């Protein structure tokens, strides 16, 4: 797995691949903190763009990880494929989907060279992935290529601001009291501003149709005590996530999600 041009550690997704669905895994917070924010938003976007019945909608999840989003899209009724640079993650996602009786076609592959023909999918999701790819603009071009005309690109990623440095880099990776992610899970200079993403989408005939930010669903003052208890193992990740889950807000300084339509 190449990490050239950056010191980002994408090896984590091989090393921790067997833990995606383990509640004690640091990866599991994507399921408990981030899914409640993004899944209802994407469902509204899909139902608005296509129709209430999503059973004819073909969707590709790029950087599908353990399948947290791919499974949510499959439960909405979409016909889902997932692709991930980490072969071990793709295999773990496949095993979990099968054990949940969900039909999802997973394979290993790079977002920058998607192993699919032009205009293959009605929708493509790429969530919490672009900021892990050194040449992410190439992934946007590939996503546009495999989308059908009129198709939807669903995304979420992390903004490059002072606040995202404090929250994501210092808070989750560096400060001994609060860190819970391995070093270099994220690299600040690889974060992407909404303006940069919009420009890359425009260059590939993807027109921004919706964008929103995030805030904590719970009281921010209760976050630190809950985080410390979760790190000590005295509360579950679910109890922690009640305080720490994201919800939609205008503030895009840390992370943001949205969708674009291919012309």
Ligand X SMILES: C[S@@+](CC[C@H](N)C(=O)[O-])C[C@H]1O[C@@H](n2cnc3c(N)ncnc32)[C@H](O)[C@@H]1O
Question: In three state form, how does the secondary structure of 95-128 look?
Answer: HHHHHCCCCEEEEECECCECCCCCCCEEEEEEEC
* Nearest residue to ligand X, scored by beta-carbon proximity: 65
Query: Within 120-139, which residues bind ligand X (CB under 6 A)?
Result: 127-129, 132-133
Residue 131 CB, nearest distance to ligand X (Å)? 8
The two beta strands, 79-84 and 104-108, are parallel
Could you say which of 78, 80, 85, 169 contacts ligand X (CB under 6 A)?
85
Name the one range near ligand X by CB under 6 A: 45-53, 64-72, 238-246, 248-256.
64-72
Residue (165 or 229) nearer to ligand X, CB = 165
Residue (184 or 229) nearer to ligand X, CB = 184
Q: Token pair 């004819």 is at which residue? A: 56
CB atoms within 10 A of CB 231: 14
Instruction: Tell me how many degrees the CA angle 136-213-8 measures, rounded to the nearest 5.
Output: 35
Q: Is 110 in the site for ligand X (CB under 6 A)?
A: yes
Residue (129 or 200) nearer to ligand X, CB = 129
Query: Within 202-241, which residues bind ligand X (CB under 6 A)?
Result: none
Could you say which of 37, 72, 84, 258 contacts ligand X (CB under 6 A)?
84
Name the one range near ligand X by CB under 6 A: 96-104, 108-116, 190-198, 200-208.
108-116
Q: Under 8 Å CB-to-CB from 234, ≥6 apart: which residues?
A: none
Rounded to whole angstroms, the Cα distance separating 228 from 222 reads 10
Could you say which of 69, 143, 187, 206 contacts ligand X (CB under 6 A)?
69
Query: 219-224: long-range contacts (C-beta < 8 A, 24 or more apart)?
Result: 219/243, 224/178
Q: Under 8 Å CB-to-CB from 27, ≥6 apart: which residues?
A: 16, 19, 20, 65, 66
Annotate each residue in 13-52 with x if it binds ligand X (CB under 6 A) or - if it does not, as one string: x----------------x----------------------
Q: Return phi, psi of residue 54, to 5°.
A: -95, 10
Q: Is 258 in the site for ligand X (CB under 6 A)?
A: no
Residue (87 or 228) nearer to ligand X, CB = 87
Binding residues for ligand X (CB under 6 A)? 10, 13, 30, 62-65, 68-69, 84-86, 89, 110-112, 127-129, 132-133
């Amino acid at each position: 797995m190449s990490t050239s041009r950056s010191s980002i550690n994408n090896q984590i997704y091989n090393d921790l691949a067997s833990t995606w669905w383990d509640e004690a895994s640091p990866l599991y917070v994507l399921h408990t903190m981030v899914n409640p924010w993004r899944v209802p938003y994407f469902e509204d976007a899909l139902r608005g763009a296509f129709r209430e019945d999503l059973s004819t909608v073909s969707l590709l999840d790029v950087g599908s990880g353990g399948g947290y989003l791919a499974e949510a899209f499959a439960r909405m009724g979409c016909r889902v494929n997932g692709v991930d640079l980490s072969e071990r993650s793709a295999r773990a996602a496949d095993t979990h989907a099968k054990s949940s009786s969900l039909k999802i076609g997973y394979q290993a592959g790079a977002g920058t060279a998607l192993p699919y023909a032009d205009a293959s999918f009605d929708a493509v999701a790429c969530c919490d992935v672009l900021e892990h790819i050194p040449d992410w603009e190439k992934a946007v071009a590939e996503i546009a290529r495999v989308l059908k005309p009129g198709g939807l690109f669903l995304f979420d990623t992390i903004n490059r601001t002072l606040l995202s440095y404090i929250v994501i880099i210092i808070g989750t990776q560096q400060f001994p009291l609060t860190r819970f992610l391995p070093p270099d899970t994220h690299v600040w200079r690889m974060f992407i501003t909404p303006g940069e993403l919009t420009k890359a989408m425009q260059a590939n005939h993807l027109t921004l149709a919706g964008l929103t930010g995030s805030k904590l669903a719970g009281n921010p003052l209760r976050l630190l005590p809950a985080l410390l208890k979760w790190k000590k193992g005295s509360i579950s990740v679910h109890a922690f996530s009640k305080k720490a889950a994201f919800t939609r807000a205008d503030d895009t300084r840390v992370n943001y999600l949205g969708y674009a339509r291919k012309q």
